[in-house]
């Protein structure tokens, strides 16, 4: 199957495999098996073999997967063999946590600018970032051709801000506001919604 | 198919459907179609029909799904027709955001206690919660039979704290630390990892 046509459901698992492989690599481990990887990510070995076989032949029966090779291939497929500039919009608790998080750089992302519309926050520093006024947001995003935004504004204004982001050229929004954003075709949205994740686990509780 | 045997991959989509249905319901809408629901959650109408048909006959050709009925059934399946007590462990930026977030109550969760091990934080108030010392954590969790924890401690100590939670009886951990936790069978972990979500979108960017 062509890498351009990987089903969305498989695309969603590839970053999880990549994260686990990078952890193994950091420990100096060079090869792994679908069984070992499956134990880490809690997906069946058969599913992992099937997913990975979608985009080529990796590993040989009995010798397992080469971790560096698989990491390289996954990065290439997910397009994180490059570094993407990202903006954070909304500098509340979550915005601060994201700005301070140092785990983006080695996974393909560079926080480029952070925005808020609160005059008390604009001009303040968070880590190395000066909080910029949201009135400058569209212009700055256009100028810098930024395609990715993390949206951590209150739910009441999230759709309005998302509209501005899309108009400025953003094509991917990581949405922390607890609502479904309406965006045009060609724009991707992922939700980070703790209640949804919790509900996925209560199914299995007694 | 028996509701006890719903494949994990479908279980993962049910909270997403539930969220969308609750939004529609809040707007006073009583019925929906797989097409409309699919447009909101960005999953194909065929997939939605297939998922929902796994656990019974809902809706009729041409009349669509009854939203209140489907909400009730999904809440029942996901076991969020009750309220689960949850603890937050780690009161940094994310812990504060979660403690302040008011979207848990109507989705089946009640934040019961919050913990940190920083003497400067212990005893402080965040919203209505007094930050408790982590040295009391295991005892409090056991006493109150709490099954669910949101873990927002630094990655360096996340595994150690997860071990304590599991030992105290926690069966579901929402993990904000950027690493894969090792937990015994019977304990569920969900990751909230912004880089993984971003990587899922870059696949589709030019």
What ipTM goes with this model?
Answer: 0.93
* Distance of alpha carbon A151 from alpha carbon A188, whole angstroms: 13
Q: Please list the alpha-helical segments (H only) found in chain B.
A: 8-11, 14-26, 34-41, 45-53, 67-78, 93-100, 137-143, 155-167, 194-202
* Distance of alpha carbon B74 from alpha carbon A179, whole angstroms: 18
Residue B197 contacts A where some CB pair is shorter than 8 Å:
yes
3-state secondary structure of A176: coil
Nearest C-alpha in B relative to A171 = B205
3-state secondary structure of A38: helix
Nearest C-alpha in B relative to A14 = B200
DSSP 8-state class, residue A135: G
- List the single residue in A15, A150, A171 with the smallest CB-CB distance to B200: A15
Q: What is the pLDDT of residue A41?
A: 86
The radius of gyration of chain B's CA atoms, rounded to the nearest angstrom, is: 19
The neighbouring-strand residues paired with A65 are A32
Chain B interface test: which of A23, A153, A199 (most B C-beta within 10 Å): A199
Residue A102 contacts B where some CB pair is shorter than 8 Å:
no
CB < 8 Å from B in window 45-74 of A: none
**DSSP assignment of B44-101:** -HHHHHHHHHTT---SBTTTBEEHHHHHHHHHHHHT-SS-EEEEEE--SHHHHHHHH-
Nearest C-alpha in A relative to B37 = A180
Q: Which residues of chain A register pLDDT less than 50? A: 1-3
3-state secondary structure of A194: helix
**pLDDT tens per residue across all 206 residues of chain B:** 444 678 888 998 999 999 999 989 999 999 999 999 998 888 889 999 999 888 776 666 667 889 999 999 999 999 999 999 999 999 999 999 999 988 898 899 999 999 999 999 999 999 999 999 999 999 999 999 999 999 999 989 999 999 999 999 999 999 999 888 889 999 999 999 999 999 999 999 98
* Distance of alpha carbon A151 from alpha carbon A172, whole angstroms: 10
B149 contacts: CB under 8 Å, gap ≥ 6? B86, B87, B88, B89, B141, B165, B170, B172, B173, B174
| Cβ distance of A109 and B195 shorter than 8 Å | yes
Confirm if B32 and B24 have CB atoms less than 8 A apart.
yes
The neighbouring-strand residues paired with B84 are B109
Residue A195 contacts B where some CB pair is shorter than 8 Å:
yes
Q: How far is B12 from chain A (nearest CA, A)?
A: 6
Q: What is the pLDDT of residue A14?
A: 94
Residue A159's CB is within 10 A of a number of other CB atoms, namely: 17
* Distance of alpha carbon B45 from alpha carbon B59, whole angstroms: 13
**Which phi and psi angles does B35 have, rounded to 5°?**
-65, -50
- List the single residue in A16, A196, A202 with the smallest CB-CB distance to B172: A202
Confirm if A106 and A81 have CB atoms less than 8 A apart.
no
The neighbouring-strand residues paired with B205 are none
Residue written as token pair 């109408």? B45
Q: What is the pTM of this model?
A: 0.87
Q: What is the pLDDT of residue A53?
A: 85
* Distance of alpha carbon A182 from alpha carbon B47, whole angstroms: 20
* Distance of alpha carbon A177 from alpha carbon A192, whole angstroms: 8
């Amino acid at each position: 199957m062509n890498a351009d046509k990987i089903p969305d459901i498989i695309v969603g698992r590839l970053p999880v495999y990549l994260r686990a492989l990078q952890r193994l690599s950091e420990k100096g481990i060079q090869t792994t098996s679908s069984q070992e990887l499956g134990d880490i990510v809690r997906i069946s070995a058969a599913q992992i073999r099937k997913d990975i076989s979608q985009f080529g032949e990796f590993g040989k029966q009995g010798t397992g997967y080469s971790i560096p090779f698989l990491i390289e291939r996954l990065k290439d497929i997910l397009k994180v063999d490059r570094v993407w500039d990202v903006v954070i919009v909304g500098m509340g608790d979550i915005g601060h946590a994201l700005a301070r998080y140092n785990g983006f750089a080695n996974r393909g992302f560079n926080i480029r600018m952070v925005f808020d519309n609160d005059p008390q926050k604009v001009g303040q520093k968070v880590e190395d970032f000066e909080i910029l006024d949201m009135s400058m947001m569209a212009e700055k995003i256009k100028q810098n051709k930024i395609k990715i935004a993390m949206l951590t504004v209150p739910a009441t204004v999230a759709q309005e801000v998302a509209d501005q982001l899309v108009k400025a050229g953003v094509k991917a929004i990581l949405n922390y506001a607890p609502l479904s954003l309406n965006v045009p075709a060609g724009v991707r949205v992922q939700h980070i919604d703790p209640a949804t994740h919790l509900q996925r686990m209560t199914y299995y509780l007694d």
